[in-house]
Chain A
Amino acid sequence: GAGVSQTPSNKVTEKGKYVELRCDPISGHTALYWYRQSLGQGPEFLIYFQGTGAADDSGLPNDRFFAVRPEGSVSTLKIQRTERGDSAVYLCASSLDGSNYGYTFGSGTRLTVV
C-alpha cells in the first residue's frame, strides 16, 4: 500500500477482554515496529520485527502483550486480559530494511479499556 495502515482506528473494550490490533506496512518494507503512546507522552518502543522474526521485544511491558508477523508483512499486536492502564494509542511503523533513515508511521489505533 501507499502508507502504513492500522485497523481498527478506534477500539473500546472491557477490562479483562482480549484485543488484536492490526498493522499493514508499506509493501516491501522488511522492518516493522510497534510503539505505544500514552496521553501527553512520546511514543514508547514495544517490539521490532525484521522479516518474520522479532528482533527486539524488550519494550513489551509484560506477558499479556504479544505480537506476530507470520509472513513478514502484516503484523498483529495481541493484548490479553486488558487493563485500564493499557489505554493508549498504539502506533505501527515500517521501514525498508531497518536502516536509520526514519520510519513511516501509521495513524495508530486508539485503544480504550473501560
Chain B
Amino acid sequence: GEDVEQSLFLSVREGDSSVINCTYTDSSSTYLYWYKQEPGAGLQLLTYIFSNMDMKQDQRLTVLLNKKDKHLSLRIADTQTGDSAIYFCAEFRWGTDKLIFGTGTRLQVFP
C-alpha cells in the first residue's frame, strides 16, 4: 500500500458530509475502488470508478476522480453512525491482475 496514500483519520458529526481522499501513483490504473472495513469483518466493496470517468454517484456515495493529479475522493452524504469504519481506496493496475490498497482512513461519526 505504500504507493496509495490516504489520510489516517476523519471525524464528522452525524448528518454532515464526509470526504475521504486518496492519492495513487500508477497512471495506468484502470479501475479505482473504495472498500469499507468494519471491526472484525472483511472488506466490503462500496463502489468503483473506471479511469475514463471523472464522477460516479451511487445513492449517498459520490466518487470523484482527478486523473491528472491521480486523486480520488469518496464523499458520503448525510453520514450516519453506521458509516463508522475504515475506508480503503484501491487501484487495479493493468497487466498485474491485482488490487493495490491504500493504508486506510478511519472514519468516526459522532452524534
Contact = CB atoms under 8 A, between A and B. Distances in A.
A25 interface: no
B97 A48 contact: yes
A43 interface: yes
Interface string A36-73: 00001111110010100001100100000000000000
Range class of the A interface residue count: 20 to 34
Interface string A91-112: 1010000101111111110000
Interface of A: 4, 31, 33, 35, 40-45, 48, 50, 55-56, 59, 91, 93, 98, 100-108
Interface of B: 1, 4, 30-31, 33, 35, 40-45, 48, 88, 90, 92, 96-104
Given A44-B101, A91-B43, 5 more contacts: A41-B104, A45-B99, A101-B31, A104-B45, A107-B40
